[in-house]
Amino acid sequence: MIKLLGAAMVVASSGIGGMTVAGRYSRRPRELKSLGYALQMLETEISYGANHMKVALEQVANRCDQAVAPLFSRAAAELSAAAGITAAAAWENSLCAYYRESALNPQDLIILRSLGSSLGISDRADQVKHLNLAMEQIKSENAKAEGEAARNVKLWNYLGFLGGLLVVLILY
Amino acid sequence: MIGADFINCKDDRYSAWAGNEILLVLPVKIRRMISALPGPILDSVEEIRIRQGKPLALGLSSGDIFVNPEGKPARQPVEAYHVTAADMENLIDLISGSSLYALEEELRTGFITLPGGHRAGITGRAVLDGGKVRTLKNLSCCNLRVSREVAGAASGLLPHIVDKKNGGIYHTILVSPPRCGKTTMLRDIIRQISSGVPGLLYPGLTVGLVDERSEIAGCYRGVPQRDVGIRTDVLDGCPKAEGMMMLLRSMGPQVIAADEIGRREDVDAMEEVLNAGVKILLTAHGSSLADLAERPVLGRLIRSKMIERYVILGRSRGAGTVENIVDGKTFRAVGVRK
């Protein structure tokens, strides 16, 4: 009975492990897509609304997908704290916290970090260029992420459970 | 350079400094140096001049000083902290609230108003469009001017510009070169005539203030942060000429006030206001009435004798000294060195 219980636990934990990895593969394209839309909103706030960065980030945080909203809301909150902080620093702090909780990979982090360093320091046309570049890069990463997700989600889901079964068989 | 009393002073109180809001837009390194300055120096700071590659300088009421990396007055420019390109970049980022793209109009005019009504003048390379300045780039010099609210600054002047007979004020223009307390004086006149001065002008008058540069009322999201009186309606960030007409049509003011007139459209709008029976209270750059008369647009205004009082401000006894008060009809002095 104990053996049976142990085997079930091995299969379940291995299955959950597999599902977690698969979940990251399926979450990343969703997050990248939401990030793309959010950056599009930020571009609109900057180019048409000419809203200050703090307000622009707040607006985006209120309207974008909840999965990426913390990135914008935290950056806006840091800027609002009036501690003499630049948008680049606020974005960097927010990005560090957000990245740990997200499904993004290091390549995505580089794109967002690079965007942060140029936030708010140039005229409208230049800001739009930087945002468009980031959106293009995210789009390209998203295409890759979708391919990876199509290949890996099922694989990891099966691999988790089957791996668990294999361990159980070997141990028996 | 200033005297030894400032160089040697040890007082380090700065918490109540009028320019505390300015500290928040300074790069951390420079912020520490300014904060470390002795209290008496901080109290007399009128401007902070930050020029890329040049010594960090302060304009005090008694002259200029340089600041060394330890936050002490430097005896020689060479001992002073020299501003780096990174400092300048950081400063512009902080001044603009990381929103340089939203300040294209301000950059075109060469300054940005900070919270609290302080002004950051900026220079760099002008970008032209059809021969007119579109914006500035490669920003390399910044002059942060501390805005001070001095309640009572206009008390000595008020009896000369209040028209007791008609229960209002005379059409008045304050004339002074930069850094002579023009805006501070204007703010206090507005405050006093708006709230009322018992025995002189009571109750007060309804004042319409066009605060194009947000310097007088220091508005934050449209609400004045400076005391400009209880009967003052502030039109914030609006061009003067347009603003004066808007106030005239919409707010029924008894006095319309604005800072730094000089353009043809300002004077045209002002003439409209004068003809509508509303009193005007304005400021203009110049060191004397003769100076003002040399300027084509303001010269025309002086010759028309529509203005009743010219108040000439200077620094002979510190910023805000009333050097002369001239009757606009007879061009005779009605009050001297108050």
Cβ-Cβ contacts under 8 Å, A54 against chain B: 97-99
Confidence band (pLDDT; 50, 70, 90) for A42? very high
Q: How many domains does chain A have?
A: 1
Q: Which fold has domain B158-336?
A: Rossmann fold (3.40.50)
Token pair listed for B254: 């008894």
Q: Determine whether the interchain pair A122/B102 forms a contact, defined as Cβ–Cβ distance below 8 Å.
A: no
- Asked if the Cβ–Cβ distance from B97 to A119 is below 8 Å, we say no
Which of A50, A56, A120 has the CB atom closest to B93's CB atom? A120
Q: What is the pLDDT of residue B8?
A: 34
The b-or-e profile of B175-201 (16+ CB within 10 A means b, else e) is: bbeeebbbbbbbbbbbbbbbbbbeeeb
What local confidence, expressed as pLDDT, does residue B57 receive?
A: 95
Query: How many residues would you count in chain A?
Result: 172
Cβ-defined contact of A82 to B92 (cutoff 8 Å): no
Report CB contact under 8 Å: A84, B94: yes
* A54 with B26: Cβ contact below 8 A: no
Q: Which residues of A touch B102 (CB under 8 A)?
A: 46, 50-53
Question: What are the structure tokens assigned to B311, written together?
Answer: 């108040």
Are the beta carbons of A52 and B26 separated by less than 8 Å?
A: no
Contacts of residue A131 in chain B, CB cutoff 8 Å?
none
What's the token pair of residue B208?
């319409």
In the predicted model, residues of chain B with pLDDT beneath 70 are 1-16, 221, 335-338
Using pLDDT thresholds of 50, 70 and 90, give the confidence band for residue A56: very high
Across the strands, what pairs with B133?
B128
Q: Residue ranges of the alpha helices (H) in chain B? A: 4-8, 20-23, 28-35, 39-43, 85-95, 104-109, 158-161, 182-195, 240-250, 264-275, 289-294, 296-303
- Say if the Cβ atoms of B96 and A120 lie within 8 Å: yes
B interface residues, A as partner, C-beta within 8 Å: 23-26, 28, 31, 89-90, 92-94, 96-102, 104, 135, 137
Choose among A50, A79, A86: nearest Cβ to B102.
A50
Mutant choice from B30, B32, B101 vs A, greatest count of A C-beta within 10 A: B101
Query: Residue A78: what are its φ and ψ, rounded to 5°?
Result: -65, -40
| Inter-residue contact B204 to B193 (CB < 8 Å) | yes
**Chain B positions in Cβ-Cβ contact with residue A92 (cut-off 8 Å):** none
Looking at the partner chain, which of B24, B89, B104 has a beta carbon nearest the beta carbon of A123? B104
**Confidence (pLDDT) at B14:** 39
Interface with A, mutate which of B98, B113, B137, B138 (most A CBs under 10 A): B98
CA B211 – CA A22 distance, rounded (Å) = 59
Choose the closest CB to A84 out of B25, B96, B137.
Answer: B25
DSSP B318: B
Element (H, E) at B66: strand B63-67
Measured between beta carbons, the chain B residues lying within 8 angstroms of A87 are 93, 98-99
The pLDDT assigned to A49 comes to 85
Residues of chain A whose C-beta is under 8 A from some C-beta in B?
A: 46-47, 50-54, 56, 79, 82-84, 86-88, 90, 119-124, 126-127
Q: Which domain holds residue A86?
A: 2-171
State the count of interchain CB pairs (< 8 A) between A and B.
63
For residue A54, the chain B residue with the least C-alpha distance is B97
- What residues contact B38, with CB distance under 8 A and at least 6 apart? B6, B9, B10, B11, B12
Quote the CA–CA distance of A140 and B161 in Å, as a whole number. 69
Asked if residues B179 and B319 have their Cβ atoms less than 8 Å apart, the reply is: yes
C-beta neighbour count of B33 within 10 angstroms: 20
Q: At B334, is the secondary structure helix, strand, or coil? A: strand
Residue B336 pLDDT: 59
Of B98, B135, B137, the CB nearest to A53: B98
Q: Which residues of A83-114 are buried (b: 16+ CB within 10 A; e: fewer)?
A: eebbbbbbbbbbbeebbeebbbbeebeebbee
Which residues have C-beta within 8 Å of that of residue A156, sequence separation ≥ 6? A18, A19, A21, A22, A25
Amino acid in the structure at residue B101: Y
User: Quick one: pLDDT at residue A57?
Assistant: 95
In chain B, where are the structural domains located? 4-145, 158-336
Q: Are the Cβ atoms of A86 and B90 closer than 8 angstroms?
A: yes
| Cα nearest neighbour of A47 on chain B | B101
Find chain B residues with C-beta within 8 A of A122's C-beta: 100-101
Q: Which residues of B touch A51 (CB under 8 A)?
A: 99, 102
